[in-house]
Amino acid sequence: MKGFVLKTLINAAAIWVAAWIVTGIQLTDGNTDWQHKTITVVAVALVFGVVNWLVKPVVKLFSFPLFILTLGLITFVINALMLLLTSWASGRLSLDFHVTGFVPALLGSLIISLVSWGLHLALDDD
């Protein structure tokens, strides 16, 4: 349970950094307080975790020939698509998280991957 909470908080921090850096990723609409932003980013991190847990393995399985053909570079595209799917699901759940296109999703997924990797290195899972 502690690992799940830690991974969710790491994903939340990574999503927050991506929304702060990439202009095409909006975390909230308008000027809201930090409590609303915090709750929103944690909820989006939960949605992101569910999308990565349920959908990503199926997509990876069906795109296995593309992994071989592109030497794994298709992973960046799949991560961007998972971020777009998270944006769509967040919109359906009335969360204030929007990704405006594929290029911001690609940049955001790269930033999320780097930040979460760095935080996983800094924080021990045990």
pLDDT in single tens digits along all 126 residues of the chain: 677 888 888 899 999 999 999 999 998 766 677 888 888 899 999 999 999 899 988 998 999 999 899 998 898 999 999 999 999 999 999 888 999 999 999 999 999 999 988 888 887 655
C-alpha–C-alpha distance, residues 73 and 96, integer Å: 30
C-alpha–C-alpha distance, residues 36 and 41, integer Å: 9
pLDDT for the residue 121:
85
Spatial CA neighbour of 95 closest among 103, 86, 107: 86
From residue 70, alpha-carbon distances to 33, 73, 76, 99 in Å are 43, 5, 11, 26
pLDDT for the residue 125:
58
pLDDT for the residue 86:
95
Its pTM surpasses 0.85:
yes
pLDDT for the residue 44:
93
C-alpha–C-alpha distance, residues 71 and 97, integer Å: 32
